[in-house]
Amino acid sequence: MELIENLKWRYATKKFDPNKKISSADIEIIKEAVQLSVSSYGLQLYKVLFVEDKALREQLKPASWGQGQITDASHLVVFCNYTNIQDEQIDDFVKLVADTRQQKVEDLQGYGDFVKSKLAEKSDAEKANWTARQTYLALGNLLTACAELKIDACPMEGFESETYNEILGLKERGLNAAVVATIGYRAEDDSSQQAAKVRRPVEELFEVI
């Protein structure tokens, strides 16, 4: 199965070749893979930023513990979760479902009300935490798509979220930088690519009950 071999090939790339760029065609494939990600209730309460601007990425580098991937990779991808969920967002989703499946909005009202009622049970902090976790589902699709395309990637939690929010103007948009990923092509002298992949043995990781 090619997927398994491609997952064995990938690793968290520590040093990218700044001269190699991902084609626009491959970027569109990666975006589609992210778009097709699963999410709770199907809401996808997040936005994904592809940061290409070099000056902006230089600003973000100090807030990323000075890691070179931020500026050297072909693209910096910032997964942002919505922090203040409004009923209007649920209504918009219900309308999208109705339009896509050629149904009446009224016929889906019960589902919309159910989602609203479940979210109303959460505190603002719980909602923000919940939407932040959704971004990791999308991140997983991005990493898998990159492996399939033989594009290197590095998921990164080592950054200052609040500083990202300030630099990217996220807070005023009701967004928060939850997790980032750098994608591109490994540098030939990236020593990390020579290390054997370390994973817990199957018999320890899985259990049938």
Q: What is the pLDDT of residues 85-142, one digit of tens each?
A: 999 999 999 999 999 999 999 999 999 999 999 999 999 999 999 999 999 999 999 9
Average pLDDT, the chain: 97
Return the pLDDT at 146. 98
Count the domains in the chain.
1
| CATH assignment of the domain containing 121 | 3.40.109.10
Distance of CA 26 to the CA centre of its chain: 16
> For residue 195, what are the CA distances in angstroms to 144, 152, 207?
20, 15, 28
| DSSP element (H, E) containing 118 | helix 109-120
Instruction: Return the number of other C-beta atoms located less than 10 Å from residue 202's C-beta.
Output: 7
At residue 1, does pLDDT exceed 80?
Answer: no
pTM assigned to the model: 0.96
Return the pLDDT at 32. 98
**Sheet with strand 75-82: strands edge to edge:** 46-51, 75-82, 175-184, 152-156
| Nearest-angstrom CA–CA distance, 5 and 137 | 21
Each residue's pLDDT tens digit, 163-178: 999 999 999 999 999 9
Which residue range is the domain that position 143 belongs to? 2-205
Token pair 């893979």: residue: 33
201 φ, ψ (degrees, to nearest 5) = -60, 150
Each residue's pLDDT tens digit, 25-81: 999 999 999 999 999 999 999 999 999 999 999 999 999 999 999 999 999 999 999
Cα four-point dihedral sign 61, 64, 66, 69? negative
